[in-house]
Every structure is written in C-alpha cells, then in structure tokens.
Structure 1
Amino acid sequence: MSGREAISILERLLIHASATVQDAMAAIDANSRGVVLLVDEQHRFLRTITDGDLRRAILKGHALGTSLSVAIDIQGKKSTTAPVGTSREEQLSMMARAQIRHLPLLKPDGTVAELSCADLVHEDVLPLQAVIMAGGFGTRLRPLTDDTPKPMLPVGGRPLMERTIEGLQRAGISRINVTTHYMPEKIIQHFGGGQKFGVDLNYVSEDQPLGTAGALRLISEVDEPLLVMNGDILTNVDYRAMLKFHRENRAQLTVALRQYEMQVPYGVVEATDGLVSELREKPRITFLVNAGIYLLEPTVLKQIPDAGRYDMTDLINRLLAQGERVVGFPVMEYWLDIGRLDDFQKAQEDVERVRWAA
C-alpha cells in the first residue's frame, strides 16, 4: 500500500466531536472497519467509537443530528491504544486481553498513525433460519401489484426479494423460509429451490392470511433462532450484529428499530390548567419505529395460538405481559419500506445512486 493510500484510509477513520451521529454512521459505512476514531481539533486521539456505541446512543433517545460530543461519553471510556512501532505480536496480544478488534497506534504527540485490526474469524454460516413474509397483497402499491406480488416488484431491474435473499446469503444465512399467499406461483417460478441463489428455500403456503406471527406456526423443525422480516423492505442491515446484540442481551425476541423524525407544522404549546409554560415553533420530533425485522428464540413459537390471525405486535405484547425479555436493535444501515408508491420510487433512485448508507 502506498503512503497516499494509507493516508486516505486513515482520513476516512477520523472524526471530530462536532460531527453528528449520522456523520459517524456514514463514516463507519464508508471505511468498512466498523469503527471511527474520535479526535480533537489538533487531531489527537480521544476514543474509539463503534457501531454498538452509536446504537446505544440512539436507544438513549439521541437524534441522528445530535453531535457526538453530546451523544457519546467522550471522557467516560478510555480506549486501549499502543505506541506506533509496537510489534504485531504485541498488538494482537493487547487486543486479545482487552477483547477488542481494533487498536489505534499513536504517535508521540497523541495523533493517530494507523489503526491495527485483528484478523476477523466469522462463522461461515450463521446459526439461524430466516423467514421472509411474502404473502401480502400490496394494495398500497396498486396498480403495480395487480399482476405481480410485492416482493417480485423490480428494484433497480431486479426483484426486491432477490436483493433480500442476496443480503441474507452474504451474511451466512442459507436456510430461508418464504411465506406465500398472493400469487405464490410467480415467486416459486423465479426462485425455485434457491440453489441458483446459494440458499435453501422452503415455501410455506397460507390458505388465508395468518398475520406476521401466525404464519410462523406453519414452519416445522425450528431448533435455532428465527430471523423474521417483512417482504417489502430494502435494507443492508448487519444481521451478524443483530444476532450478537440479541445474544448479549439474552433476549427472547429482538425487534429492529428505525429512528423516525417528523416536523410538527404548527407551534406546540405546553400548558397546564391554562397556564402556558413553553411554546415551541414547529418542533421536530424523533422517535423509534418498528423496522419490520425480528429475531426470535425458538421457544417463543410456543406462545403463538394454534389458529387464527396473529401479528408480531400481538406476540410482542404477550411476551411483555409475561415479563419476557424483549429488546430493540437500532438499524443504522440503509433501510426503506417500499410499501407505498413514493417509497417504491425512492428505492429505484437509491439503488441507481448506490446509496447504501443510513
């Protein structure tokens, strides 16, 4: 690697405290290292920020536009570093002791010389099955869905579901169940058994719509976690990170969350008994919404009734009522629900621009 290339890589890793959570997301996506290095105005190293740090900031209620100086505890966590010139053997030893994958190597003035990374060993196959909910009528997308099931609508010249399967296969997920109801023959004809796409497809036919959870009762031989996702989502969410988050939180069910922001078109008045305490002009409100992707332990399937329609919201509420552990996983990567015509058009534009960032 040339010196210019090394400098370019390092520049993509560095970020200032004045940058926003969204800036850090984009930088992590661009540098493909899973981290950014926070530096001060003199480019001296402050701390490492991982995608996990950003997800935790979102869960605490910070908006994407919040500066890192507010969203991240800069002084509270001291990152492990090593002086430039440290041997590779010692670097690996330090990373193993600290249970980290990234080690900034610092110059005497505290600036970053380079980022050392441990060799990553991924499981070739993720120990879970996937379920794509592909049975919906797609009424909001008519007339496009009059003769084409929603997952088969072209996005960038390829069926949406083909992109979904490709993302699952790339993450190491090879066993995929597809629930069908509306025009199933068009889905089956295109994908067959899945061999052409490097996966093993199992089709689950719903004689009548059973809901996003009810259809799961038709899947047999489930002895590992189930990754369940709506069939109208275009995303490059990190499924490995989601499984890691699920395990670390010892969850029975993990629901993917997306931060959504809307602007109230009026001045909002805070008042008690007619006494005005605050007036905010057209405020922006940020909250977390259901992203339509779930990770379930196989024991959760026993909570689904034997008959009738049953949605994932029903299942989640039932688990919560029983005191089971349900956690939320913020999606920072690209995500778009194409259930409406304007969003479907946006998907075409995003794919054309290769816009795969949060």
Structure 2
Amino acid sequence: MEAVVLAGGVGKRLLPLTRERPKPYLPLAGKPLYMYAVEQVAMVRSLLDRAVMVTPPGHPTPPGSLPSWLDTVEQQGEGVEAGLATALKRLGGGEEVVVSFVGYLARPNTLVRHVLDFYSVTRYKLVLALAPVTRGSESFGFVDADPSTGRVLGFSGSREEWMAGRGRVFAGVLAGDPEALEVLAGEGFVEGINTLARRGLVGSVVWPGEWLEVGYPCDLLEAPRLVVEAWAAVISAKARVARSSVIQGGVVIEEDAEVGEGAVVEGPAYLGRGAVVGRNSVVGPGVVLEEGAVVGDLVSIERSVMLERAEASGPSRLEGVVIGDGAYIAPLAAATNREGCTVVAPKTRLGPRATLEPGKTYT
C-alpha cells in the first residue's frame, strides 16, 4: 500500500489569504493545513510501504516538521491531474494507492481508514469518499451514486447542480489501483472518474462523521467545531492567564499566550502561541487566534479567525470575520455577521469606526 498527501494546490479560491503563500501552508489552529491530511494518513501508517506528499509548485519546503516516513516532491504543473502524475512518478509502483487531499477536515480522524475498509472488500478499481452537502460553498464536485451498491454513476465539477443543498460531494479521500489513478492524471480528474464510472469501476462510501471542505476564506469559520475539543480546556503551563479571567468549555491556550484581567474565553476556541486577549474582552465560541494574534482591551469577538500577528483594538465588536495575517483593525470597529462573513486581507489596515459589511473583502 502506498499513500499520497496531495498538497500541490495554491488555493486560488482562498484569495486574498493565499496571496503570499499557498493553501496547504495556511495555519489552522496552530498547524499548517496540510498536517490534517498527513494525520489522516498516519492513522493507517502500519499498512503503508511508502508515502509521499506533493508540495505546491515553487514551494518545495513545507513549514513545520514532517514525519520521517513521509517523502516530499514538488508538483510539476498545475491542477489535481498534475499532482497525481507527480506522485505516481515518485511512488514505487505498488498495487494500491490511497490519496488524501489537503483542505478537507473530518472528525473523527479516520476518514482514510473508512475508505480503505470499503475499498478492501469491493472489486472497484477506484473508491471515493463522499459527504452530504451542508452548505452552498462546498464546490469540488457533485457525485451521483447508487445508494444500495455505492457505485458511482457520474461526477460533475459544476456547482449549479447542487447549490440547493442536496446530494453528496467528493470528501477529499480516494483509494484505487495505479492504473485507475493514471486515467485521472491523463484524462483530467473529473473526466477520468466519469470514464471509469461508465465502465462500472468506481465505487463510493459515505462518511458518517463530521466533515468540512476549506475552500473559501469563510469556510475557516466552521473549523473550530472540528479541530477543538468541545468539552475540556487545555492550557499550557507556559501561558499567562489572569486569575480574574474566565475560561470555559473547549479552549486550547498555547504557550506564551496571554489572557488579561477580567477577560472571558468560551469554547470552542483556540489561542495560539503568543496570542493575546486583552483586559475585559470577551472571546466567544468559534474563535481561532493564530500565533501572535492580538485581541485588544474591551473587544467582543466570536465566530472569527485571526491569522498570525493580526490585531483588533478595542472597544470593538466583531462577529463572523476572517482577518488575514498582519492586518490591523482600529478601535470602534463593528461587524455583526450572524450567518455571513467578512474578510480582511493580509496586512490591511482599517481605521477607527470601521463598519465591516457582510460579504465584503477589505484590502
């Protein structure tokens, strides 16, 4: 058995967050996005003879450390097809290959195992993981499958067919033999799956757990429910948490993070290394503060993500905001997105009394 972590995409749909680094290298709760796919593959490490991660063109060295059993190779060309072709050239020609795509989160952490279990008891040359559509933003492909056998009847990359919130989409993991993957690499991902499906060679298995595709910036707002445990606080001994602060629910506080006097942090929430929550601020559910992010005094923030070294000064009220690395929001800002989302591009500076409107990107 061989494994591929497909991390070769640059993430055009995630712009402007990917303006200076590719999608797989974006942080999510303190680790690069690609690590979630690596951890999925690590769950079947005992079955693997070889594993390789395909890195984005022009970015051959991933941030952070990789396990010793995982090789890397820089993708040659663009698109999923190029990533698969690059991986197949590097692998040793095993009889079975499992592929985990970066940008898909699953809980529990057993999606790869789930696909392999189904693949091992069927005669399909290719098996796709599927997930029910839950939001209109999921966009990698609608899969039409026979509910009784799992046989895939067709695959479409068009959003329009399932924007109404019905049906199932590709969930980011597949398993197959090298010949099947060569078809996908040669004909194109969607076209290749349909070629094999017409011959009755593609099966599917539905993922029963929680699932999320991180395809657009606002998808990051859904991540805390999958990556932060809901019931317990985990606080580093090297964090500085004021005695008068209140920490409740699933909250992760990394080393050198700081929570000021009178602050309230309610989970699920993540405070990365060196992150700061100022005095008398309220960090509500669904907040991720990446390394060095700063929430000033008297800020109320919930269902929001602040990337590295982003800063929001108080008093301010922020809800449903994705703030890029190094961005700054001056005092008296207001964003109240009960369902929608506002994006602040990396290194953007917003002046006092900014009103952040739903659906807008500030650059």
- TM-score, structure 2 length as denominator? 0.49
As a proportion of its length, which structure holds more helix? 1
As a proportion of its length, which structure holds more strand? 2
In our comparison, the structure showing a higher alpha carbon Rg is 1
- TM-score, structure 1 length as denominator? 0.49
